Amino acid sequence: MNDQNHGQPHDAPAPRQAAAAMNQQTTPPFGRVLRSAIHSSAVIFVAAIVLYGLLAAHSLHGALASLNGRLLVWVLGCSVLNYLLRFVRWHVFLGQLGSRPTLGTSLLIYLAGYAFTTTPGKSGEAVRSWWLLSHGVRLEDSLGVLVMERLCDLAAVLLLALLCLSLLGAGQGMLLFGAAAGCLLFALSLQPVWLAALGKRLEGRRGLVVRLAQTAIGAVLRAWRLVTPSLLGMGLLTGLVAWAAEGWGFYLLVDAVHQGTTPGLVVGIYAAGLLAGAISMIPGGVGGAEGAMVLLLGAIGLGSGQAMGVTLVSRLATLWFGVAVGALCCLAYLFQYRRAQQT
């Protein structure tokens, strides 16, 4: 617990009894949260299985026949590297804004959030903010970190997709994505003065909508405190390496069934597929991401069966592997929380 009060003034700690009472009032019902995660993931999982079965059951079997256990371990390892790199960034951002849990608890909470990946825009991962309340982390701080994470990941995936378009020779598309990435970085450099003014106008007003608006404004304002050259550079670089790692796993699968492809091109195709899934706003990007990846793989010479099989195996090793890890961590955190309540 050495870094729990990192970034807080030394004369501000509350008495232990008061903090415990506050935690009991703000801690969400973990059983209900866990059931929601399981139900959400189960529904999308069933829908994905139906979709995958209708599209390419035979292709999936053929792709698996071309792969071996060692290769699948490497692909899963790329996914784990993605999770760990993004966790380090999340933990650093939390420390910059105020208090944070110990490293082990922080890792458990972060990974547990992946159980909610199958929600539109991965918005369900904000459940981490509920869990962090019991560790003294303000709601605005944790949501601010979430906002900054999303922006860094969006910029990173855009740049990787830009690589794909440039290698395909799509000059106009490259300019479009480059302009979008430039606008995003420019927006990050602006000070949200108007948001602060709006927050002041809402002070003293009541109502659920007002409270939600105040929380959202507070989160964005806290996120902007992370917009410094060092933190922004670290966040973007971490995102690039993390998503390139998953893209490399995708390349390993493609190369196993169709040798001679360019690694950078395949990594860019993976990133473009992720963007297509995010734009579709379908939970987990199921359908949108797969469709884009299959089309782009076909454009570089893979047969339809190969493209479908590789894409589905990749999604099982990234999206659904993450959901499984998140569900297990949810169970572990629930057990840890209940055990702490009994002592």
Task: Give 147-204 pLDDT, tens digit per residue.
Answer: 889 888 988 998 888 877 777 665 555 556 666 666 666 555 555 665 656 656 666 6
Give me 134's structure tokens: 């019991």
Mean predicted confidence (pLDDT) in 267-282 = 87
Q: What pLDDT score was predicted for residue 30?
A: 42
pLDDT of 24 higher than 50: no
Spans of all domains in the chain = 28-189+227-342
Mean predicted confidence (pLDDT) in 280-292 = 79
CA angle, corner 248, sides to 246 and 249, nearest 5? 65
Backbone CA torsion sign across 293, 121, 327, 110: positive
d(CA 170, CA 168): 6
d(CA 223, CA 187): 13
Helix, strand, coil distribution of the chain in percent, nearest 5? 80, 0, 20
For tokens 């069934």, what's the residue? 257
Pair 299, 278: CB distance under 8 Å:
no
d(CA 306, CA 169): 23
* Nearest CA-CA partner of 337 in 116, 140, 145, 109: 109
Give me 132's structure tokens: 């962090």
Mean predicted confidence (pLDDT) in 314-335 = 90
Model confidence pLDDT, tens digit, residues 211-240? 666 666 666 777 778 888 899 899 999 999
Least confident of 117-126, 134-143, 159-168: 117-126
d(CA 94, CA 146): 10
> How much is the pTM?
0.78
d(CA 239, CA 86): 7
* Nearest CA-CA partner of 280 in 47, 299, 272: 272
How large is the angle between the packed helices 171-188 and 139-168, nearest 10 degrees?
A: 160
- Most confidently modeled range among 1-10, 191-200, 215-224, 328-337: 328-337
**DSSP-derived 3-state class of residue 221:** helix
Q: What pLDDT score was predicted for residue 295?
A: 92
* Confidence bin at 120 (pLDDT 50/70/90): low
Q: Which residue has the higher pLDDT, 306 or 73?
A: 73
pLDDT of 54 higher than 90: no
- What lies within 8 Å, CB to CB, of 21 at 6+ separation is none
d(CA 292, CA 276): 7
